[in-house]
């Protein structure tokens, strides 16, 4: 097990479909004083009209904004860009940024970026994922998600969703989009922006580490209560509700495990799921009660890739059940639970 390196730099990924207002949002964020001590990695300077805001050019790839925000372009592979930024920061060749924001292209699946942060040994020890921020157009969001699976996926994996262009849409349309986003991704915080204006504080600090308390806050990170409603009932392993949209097959649910299981059994279960259905597992977040530990273990996965499990110092409350949030595509709760039951029964038979 590993510990979260609280001194590592938090990384936020901004994604959103073409035309959803992502560039406008980022443009305004870069100008906000709240973005001081932030490094922003983008694809092209020209895309966000950065030339008008240029204060000081550190070199061809890095500029310093009036807000104190550092901005650079992806040069070659993302891994190389992030390594270079960290190294130059350590050498004091660039300002000492405290946070990193990465912008994806409009058609991009954010999963490869999350994989990069989880898989590269150099990056893993120096950066930690804070959260995924996705934009949705107040007027066109519902239609875009109906036509493009990528837009659905971007919203489904997000920790924060920004409904953009609210000044151009009516209340009924905004409410309908918000309702759809909540059913798609119950735990994501949803915020509104007009002309890209939003307080950066609403978008960041979505990760496991809470800088306010300087501690690991798994309940805030998991938000399992978002998957429960007044009509939910406890059915052994399951708790909460499934959301299955006919056009995307995206489902979001929380699985509870009443029994304390050996780490090997849970690890085998998750490994089987990701091996055979990894493409359909958009994101997994969980807090586990394993037989080998008196305190919970936190897991976080994206498709085929898992971040190293993290051991917490204590349970956050008196509920010591394992709880795992799944966001999947065409992978129902029944398949997930049946696979676990099959593994545990096999172990019991072997004993």
Per-residue CA distances from 79 to 75, 114, 120, 343 (Å):
10, 11, 8, 37
Q: What is the pLDDT of residue 233?
A: 35
Last residue of some domain: 147, 177, 208? 208
- State the pLDDT confidence band at 117, using cuts at 50, 70 and 90: confident
Q: Is the dihedral of CA 115, 121, 124, 126 positive or negative?
A: negative
Examine the pLDDT at 231 and tell me if it is beyond 90.
no
In this prediction, residue 9 carries a pLDDT of: 93
The answer as to whether 219 is a domain residue is no
Q: How far apart are CA 74 and CA 219, in angstroms?
A: 34
Banded model confidence at residue 51, pLDDT cuts 50, 70, 90: low
Give the domain range for residue 242: 226-350
| Whether residue 204 is found in the same domain as residue 233 | no
Q: pLDDT value at position 235? A: 35
137 and 71, same structural domain? yes
pLDDT value of position 298: 94
**Of 28-32, 107-111, 225-229, 230-234, highest mean pLDDT:** 28-32
Q: What is the pTM of this model?
A: 0.89
State how far the Cα of 142 lies from the Cα of 151, in Å rounded to an integer.
Answer: 10
Same domain, 52 and 161: yes
281, β-bridge pairs:
328
Residue-wise pLDDT tens digits, 140-195: 999 999 999 889 999 999 999 999 999 999 999 999 999 999 999 999 999 999 99
Report the mean per-residue pLDDT for the chain: 86
Task: Name the band, by pLDDT with cuts 50, 70 and 90, for residue 5.
Answer: low
Sequence-ordered list of residues with C-beta below 8 angstroms from that of 242, at least 6 positions apart, any chain:
251, 252, 253, 332, 333
32 and 160 share one domain: yes
Q: In what helix (H) or strand (E) does residue 119 lie, and over which residues does it extend? A: helix 111-119
**pLDDT tens-digit series, residues 296-346:** 999 999 988 888 888 999 999 999 999 999 999 999 999 998 888 887 775
pLDDT at 3: 52
CATH number of the domain encompassing residue 92: 3.40.50.300
User: For 83-106, what is each residue's pLDDT tens digit?
Assistant: 999 999 999 999 899 999 999 876
- Kindly report the CA angle at 108 between 189 and 123, in degrees rounded to 5? 80
pLDDT (0 to 100) of residue 8 = 87
**What is the spatial distance between Cα 242 and Cα 328, in angstroms, rounded to a whole number?**
10
In a domain, residue 1? The reply is no
The pLDDT score that the predictor gives to residue 223 is 93
Q: For residue 142, what pLDDT is reported?
A: 95
């Amino acid at each position: 097990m590993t510990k979260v390196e609280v001194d590592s730099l938090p990384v936020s990924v901004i994604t959103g479909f073409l035309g959803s207002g992502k560039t406008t949002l980022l443009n305004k964020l870069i100008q906000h004083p709240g973005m001081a001590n932030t490094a922003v990695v983008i694809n092209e300077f020209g895309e966000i009209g950065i030339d008008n805001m240029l204060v000081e050019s550190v070199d061809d790839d890095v500029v310093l904004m009036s807000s104190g925000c550092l901005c650079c372009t992806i040069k070659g592979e993302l891994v190389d860009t992030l390594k270079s930024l960290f190294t130059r920061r350590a050498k004091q060749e660039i300002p000492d940024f405290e946070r990193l924001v990465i912008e994806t292209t409009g058609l991009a699946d954010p999963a490869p970026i999350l994989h990069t942060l989880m898989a590269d040994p150099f990056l893993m020890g120096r950066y930690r994922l804070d959260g995924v921020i996705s934009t949705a157009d107040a007027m066109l969001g519902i239609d875009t998600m109906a036509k493009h699976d990528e837009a659905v996926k971007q919203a489904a994996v997000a920790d924060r969703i920004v409904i953009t262009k609210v000044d151009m849409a009516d209340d009924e349309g905004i409410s309908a989009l918000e309702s759809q986003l909540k059913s798609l991704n119950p735990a994501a915080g949803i915020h509104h922006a007009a002309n890209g204006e939003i307080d950066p504080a609403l978008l960041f600090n979505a990760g496991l580490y809470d800088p306010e308390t300087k501690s690991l806050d798994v309940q805030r990170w998991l938000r399992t209560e978002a998957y429960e409603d007044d009509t939910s009932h406890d059915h052994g392993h399951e708790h909460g509700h499934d959301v299955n949209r006919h056009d995307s097959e995206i489902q979001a649910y929380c699985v509870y495990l009443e029994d304390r299981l050996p780490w090997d059994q849970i690890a085998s279960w998750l490994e089987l799921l990701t091996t055979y259905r990894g493409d359909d597992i958009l994101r997994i977040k969980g807090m586990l009660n394993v037989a080998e530990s008196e305190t919970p273990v936190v897991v976080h996965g994206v498709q085929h890739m898992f971040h190293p499990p993290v051991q917490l110092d204590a349970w956050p409350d008196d509920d010591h059940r394992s709880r795992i949030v799944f966001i999947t595509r065409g992978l129902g709760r029944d398949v997930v639970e049946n696979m676990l039951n099959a593994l545990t029964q096999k172990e019991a038979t072997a004993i």
